[in-house]
Structure 1
Amino acid sequence: MPPTPQSAPQAAPGTAAEPAPPRGAPRATGGRITILLVEDHDMVAEAIRLALDRTEDLRVVGRSLSVAEALAEAARLRPAVVVLDRRLPDGDGIAAIAPLRAAAPGARILVLTGEATPAVAARVAEAGGSGLILKAGNLTELQDGVRLVAAGEVAFSKGLLGGALDRLTGRTAGLGATLTPRERETLGLLGDGLGTAEISRRLGVALNTARNHVQRVLEKLGARSQLEAVAVARREGLLR
């Protein structure tokens, strides 16, 4: 990775010298995706940190050992992604998703767990989490998961996504305003499992425009994530 020019030195995250980003926005660090790691086991945390930091586009900017520490650090560091252990000394990681999103509104939450079921994956999605990765998987899966959620996509370990969708389909939630033809097209592409970048290419629109279409779909379906939007749409007969 090329060295940072001396004319524009990077200040440590959270210091007074660092330019303040827009209110609620994640802090940028040399173009890398900033990560807050919430893991109370030292060996596991160190292995994860090394795996993420050795890439050119990811950087762990802080580590917390508990929910309480994570809330304070998320507000201070404003990371792009919080990699969150499911079981922490002072509480359940999934229950901490909503408070973490309130503390750092721009952050995406990726939960790590030793074992999980589709019901657990559905809980993560309902709480506003962006993904659930099994610790039994490889570190490349975690790296890719961080990139996906940072880009506004969802990342669930194999075998959990379909079951989570089935569970979420049973929720009671009404549709919002009628979807426009372009929003229905966007929803169909979400239902095919496409991410925002691919939707942009398929629709022939700019990436930001595609993101806006996806966001409006979520709002009109009363969904907090792309996963939940697809589940609601299936229940309402908007997708087959």
Structure 2
Amino acid sequence: MIRVLLVDDQQLVRAGLRMLCDSAADLEVVGEAANGVDAVRLAERLRPDVVLMDLRMPGMDGMTATQRIMAARPTTRVVVLTTFDDDDHVYPALAAGACGFLAKDMAPAELLRAVRGVVDGESPFAPAVLRRLVDRAVAARVEPAAATPVPAELTGREREVLALIGDGLSNTEIADRLHLGVTTVKTHVSNLMAKTASPNRVRLAVLAVRAGLCG
């Protein structure tokens, strides 16, 4: 059972998120918080696996709350869920320790997949946010913008998975696109990280873009 803490200053939003999580047999909402102070307190007491964190709240904001939660419980996975996906919010939230950044207008099924994915080590990002992260990382490189070759030892399937990572797809979405099992996709992602010396999904996405693999 995946234990989830909901953090949002709007009661209606929390109610909707609770209904969505309650509809999934493998998710359990263990608490709700309307501000950062309560979020930090409840995270320490309830020990959730995943925190769905709003950013703009009265008193302590979501970025500060994320930083304090991660300092106290580094194994907790904090996913930002917000209407503000501009760079002024994305980068401070990631620096605070958030593992993903999603928009509140995403499809309910996608949100459930994201919650399950972060427990398995995924870092979910709204496609537009991931692309900005990738573009910024690519632009920050001092080398010429010429295509970067991928390691020759990648299999054809691994190249396909890498391209879809660059397009911002989750493991579940990649599995659906390539008609594979999610476990198989996870294996491919792990192999890609090992073969390319990429520590995380964002680095894989950067490689895919620089190699010209993305659609």
The answer to whether the 8 Å contact 2:122/2:201 transfers is yes
The answer to whether the 8 Å contact 1:37/1:45 transfers is yes
The yes-or-no answer on 1:104 pairing with 2:79 is no
- Deviation, 1:149, is 1.6
Q: 2:116 aligns with which of 103, 128, 147?
A: 147
Q: 2:136 aligns with which of 156, 163, 167?
A: 167
The yes-or-no answer on 1:114 pairing with 2:83 is yes
RMSD: 3.7
The answer to whether the 8 Å contact 1:52/1:58 transfers is yes
- Deviation, 1:85, is 0.6
Mark the CA change 1:213 to 1:69 in structure 2 (over 3 Å): closer, same or farther: farther
Q: Which runs of 5+ in 1 are unaligned?
A: 1-31, 173-178
The yes-or-no answer on 1:85 pairing with 2:54 is yes
Mark the CA change 1:114 to 1:170 in structure 2 (over 3 Å): closer, same or farther: same
TM-score by length of 2: 0.68
The aligned counterpart of 2:2 is 33
The answer to whether the 8 Å contact 1:122/1:165 transfers is no
The aligned counterpart of 1:227 is 202
Mark the CA change 1:192 to 1:87 in structure 2 (over 3 Å): closer, same or farther: same
> How many positions carry a matched residue from both structures?
193
- Deviation, 1:191, is 6.2
**Superposed counterparts of 1:119-134, under 5 Å:** 120-134=89-103
How many Å separate the matches in 2 of 1:187 and 1:127?
Answer: 32
How many Å separate the matches in 1 of 2:48 and 2:159?
Answer: 29
In the TM superposition, what whole-angstrom CA distance separates every residue of 1:134-177 from its partner, at most 9, and x where no partner exists? 222332232222112222112222322111221244558xxxxx
The answer to whether the 8 Å contact 1:154/1:226 transfers is yes
- Deviation, 1:209, is 8.0
The yes-or-no answer on 1:135 pairing with 2:104 is yes
The yes-or-no answer on 1:62 pairing with 2:31 is yes
Q: 2:126 aligns with which of 157, 179, 186?
A: 157
- Deviation, 1:207, is 9.6
Identity, % of aligned positions: 28
How many Å separate the matches in 1 of 2:163 and 2:91?
Answer: 17
Runs of 4+ in 1 over 4 A off after TM superposition: 186-192, 194-199, 205-218
Mark the CA change 1:33 to 1:89 in structure 2 (over 3 Å): closer, same or farther: same
In the TM superposition, what whole-angstrom CA distance separates every residue of 1:65-117 from its partner, at most 9, and x where no partner exists? 22122112112222111000111112331343232212222111111112323
The aligned counterpart of 1:20 is none
- Deviation, 1:215, is 7.9
Q: One-letter code of the match for 2:21?
A: L
Mark the CA change 1:86 to 1:206 in structure 2 (over 3 Å): closer, same or farther: same
TM-score by length of 1: 0.61
Q: Which runs of 5+ in 2 are unaligned?
A: 142-150
The answer to whether the 8 Å contact 2:2/2:26 transfers is yes
Q: One-letter code of the match for 1:88?
A: M
Q: One-letter code of the match for 2:113?
A: D
Q: One-letter code of the match for 1:57?
A: D
The aligned counterpart of 1:10 is none
The aligned counterpart of 1:16 is none
How many Å separate the matches in 2 of 1:207 and 1:113?
Answer: 28
The answer to whether the 8 Å contact 2:37/2:60 transfers is no
Q: One-letter code of the match for 1:164?
A: L
